[in-house]
Amino acid sequence: MPGDAGLFGPESVTWRVHADPTMWVAGLRALLLQAVHPAAMAGVLQHSDFRADPWGRLRRTADYVGVVTFGSMEEVERIGRRVRGLHATVRGRDAATGVSYRASDPELLRWVHCCEVESFLTTYQRAGGGLTPGEVDAYYAEQTRAAAVVGLDPALVPASAADMAAYFDRMRPELAVDRRARRVAAYVLRPPMPRWVVLATPARPAWAGVAGLGAALLPRWARRLYRLPALPATDASATAAVRALRLAGSRAPDRYREGPHLRAARARLGLAS
């Protein structure tokens, strides 16, 4: 419908955060953070095409976030039905632990959701986003609506910075970086690329730099699990790098800086860019 502001609307903190040029880095950080949950990795490796088509998987994930953030309510409901239908078919047993899992399990859905939104928010803030504590809490509260799209009860999802911090503290005893997590991390850091891309462009080193920045932005406890440097100097370097990336992205033309979902939303609502 013309004028349909969707799940959040242009005045939301979510629009402000998700329109930022650092969200690609945030998405890679989220994938690396999700990988430290053994049951989540079992489902990805057994049922996902991530290894065969990492680019396609990343594009579909970005498309989902874009639709949920900027799409009309009809678009949000349609993509939500599709994702919930896919989740209903994914189930199995983790060969490493013997634990059964299913993608529609609220615990796994909550883990994926929290890794995503915490990564989006943290990356934005470290890039110089400048949200106040009240705006940070408003963002997490808004994101409970996104949780409902995949079938989660919004009341069971962290709705503030304190709730999110408590959630990760509670989860840490269950987390580990095993062979599977390292395999996924390797695909994130060095995905297969078409030969013509590798030969004709600096895509490989550029991607490695962005993905490495996503790893450097992980919380210290997660970097320790990956056996990566977890020193204050690493935090400072990563923060400086993501701020420089954001500054460069903000100077790009709108057609490169803004994604297609944001542009479509602006057109739908009659908003100037």
Q: Give per-residue pLDDT as tens, 220-247.
A: 999 999 999 888 888 999 999 999 999 9
The residue-averaged pLDDT of 196-221 equals: 79
141 falls within a domain: yes
Q: Is the pLDDT of residue 1 over 70?
A: no
pLDDT-derived band at 50 (thresholds 50, 70, 90) equals low
173 falls within a domain: yes
161 falls within a domain: yes
Q: What percent of the chain clears pLDDT 70, i.e. is strictly above it?
A: 83
- Residue 103: both structure tokens together: 């993608």
- Residue 199: both structure tokens together: 């030969």
6 falls within a domain: no
261 falls within a domain: yes
Give the domain extent around 172. 13-269
The most distant pair of C-alpha atoms in the chain lies apart, rounded to whole Å, by 54
Task: Indicate the pTM of the whole model.
Answer: 0.89
**Whole-number pLDDT of residue 51:** 60
The residue-averaged pLDDT of 75-90 equals: 87
Q: Is the pLDDT of residue 107 over 50?
A: yes
Rg (CA), the chain: 18
pLDDT-derived band at 49 (thresholds 50, 70, 90) equals low
71 falls within a domain: yes
1 falls within a domain: no
Q: Is the pLDDT of residue 196 over 60?
A: no
7 falls within a domain: no
93, β-bridge pairs: 100
Q: Which range (150-154, 156-160, 196-200) has the least confidence? A: 196-200
Q: Is the pLDDT of residue 11 over 50?
A: yes
Domain count for the chain, please give it.
Answer: 1
Ranked by mean pLDDT, the top range of 93-102, 103-112, 203-212 is 103-112
What lies within 8 Å, CB to CB, of 59 at 6+ separation is: none
What lies within 8 Å, CB to CB, of 102 at 6+ separation is: 87, 90, 91, 92, 108
